Structures are given as structure tokens and as C-alpha cells.
């Protein structure tokens, strides 16, 4: 499944960093939480946040921390060490893995069903979010979704890039096209 997002600012240079917020649960929408899912993220740094969840402009290495998903790991293994769950932007650095000009951003795996989703993108970052604030949402077939019932992988420019000179620029010049591509591949 391929998703292309485009925008053209008409009159003024404009900050643009579109993202999608799809929740994934490879076990099935009514199967409970995603803590047993396994994930690998091709990012060796995150953009740490302040007390208001705003990125500070720093890049923090993930090696040896609860944020280290450079090798496939169970999502729930260290989630308790990061507050209520993951909601962090990873800096993608996977130059050795490309497909049609897109970088390999993440691999999500459900161990029970062996379903796998690979995510490819041309964006510099991916926000990894574990549904930390989902609380009793009624969904498809009257299923009730709770905390950690889905995972979001949101490819994007770095949050707060407009205020951080060290982050990749998100300003698009008037009349120029912004384009952002994601490719979701599913397998078993």
C-alpha cells in the first residue's frame, strides 16, 4: 500500500510536515494490546522532548536505552521505563536499505500470526506512538480499544523543526511542491 501526500503553498513560504496517524494491530483490531508485537526501527537517535513534549533540538543516541529498537525487540519489554509509553520521533539513518528511493523506516511483527508490516519512506523521521491515551474508544464491530491497543508509525519531518535550526528544514517555498511518500508492505 502506497500513500503519497502532496501540498503546494500558494502565496507564502509555509512550514509543512504532513503525517498520518493510522493505528496498527497486526493481531486484529479486537485482539487486545500490541505489547507482544515486535518492532525494529532504522533510527539510532531520537529527538528528545522537554516537559511539554516539545523536541529540544538535540539528537539522543538510543543504544542501550529503552528506545533502542535498532534490532527487533518486543514493544512491551521496556515500555515501563519511558513513562506511559512511546511517543518519540526517531531519526532515520538507513542509507544501506533502500527501495524505489525510499528508506526502510520500520518493521512491525506479530509473533502469534506471523504477520509483518514493513514501512518505507522518504521522510527524515518516524514517530513511534503506542496508543498511550486510548481509553475506551468504541470502534469497528463495537470493539473497545484501550491503552496500547494499537501502534502508530508516523513518517514525518522532525517535530518542532521550524524552531530548531539543527533539524532538517520543513519550510516549502511558495509555488513549490511538498511531497512525502510512505510504502507499507505486508507479508506473513
- Give me the domain span that covers residue 182: 2-187
- Domain count of the fold of the chain: 1
Q: How much is the average pLDDT of 123-128?
A: 98
Residue 125 to residues 17, 64, 70, 117, Cα–Cα distance (Å)? 11, 20, 14, 17
Whether the predicted pLDDT of 128 surpasses 90: yes
How sure is the predictor about 94, in pLDDT bands with cuts at 50, 70 and 90? confident
* CATH number, residue 116: 2.70.98.10
Burial class (CB in 10 A: 0-12, 13-18, 19+), 46: buried
pTM: 0.95
Question: Catalytic residue positions?
Answer: 21, 154
**Which residues make Cβ contacts (< 8 Å) with residue 75, sequence separation at least 6?**
34, 35, 36, 37, 38, 39, 86, 130, 151
Is 186 a residue whose pLDDT tops 90?
A: yes
Q: What is the pLDDT of residue 131?
A: 97
Q: What is the mean pLDDT of residues 87-109?
A: 90
Whether the Cβ atoms of residue 183 and residue 121 lie closer than 8 Å to each other: yes
Amino acid at each position: 500500500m502506497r500513500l503519497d501526500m502532496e501540498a503546494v503553498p500558494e502565496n507564502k513560504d509555509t512550514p509543512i510536515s504532513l503525517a498520518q496517524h493510522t493505528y496498527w494491530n497486526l493481531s486484529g483490531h479486537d485482539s487486545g494490546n500490541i505489547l507482544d508485537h515486535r518492532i525494529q526501527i532504522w533510527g539510532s537517535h531520537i529527538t528528545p522532548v522537554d516537559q511539554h513534549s516539545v523536541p529540544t533540538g538535540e539528537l539522543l543516541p538510543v543504544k542501550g536505552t529503552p528506545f533502542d529498537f535498532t534490532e527487533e525487540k518486543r514493544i512491551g519489554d521496556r515500555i515501563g521505563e519511558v513513562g506511559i509509553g512511546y511517543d518519540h520521533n526517531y531519526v532515520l539513518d538507513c542509507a544501506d536499505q533502500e527501495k524505489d528511493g525510499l528508506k526502510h523506516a520500520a518493521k512491525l511483527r506479530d509473533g502469534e500470526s506471523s504477520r509483518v508490516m514493513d514501512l518505507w519512506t522518504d521522510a527524515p523521521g518516524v514517530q513511534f506512538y503506542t496508543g498511550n491515551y486510548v481509553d475506551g474508544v468504541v470502534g469497528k464491530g463495537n470493539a473497545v480499544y484501550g491503552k496500547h491497543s494499537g501502534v502508530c508509525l508516523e513518517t514525518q519531518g522532525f517535530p518542532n523543526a521550524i524552531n530548531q535550526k539543527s533539524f532538517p528544514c520543513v519550510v516549502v517555498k511558495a509555488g513549490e511542491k511538498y511531497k512525502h511518500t510512505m510504502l507499507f508492505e505486508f507479508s506473513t
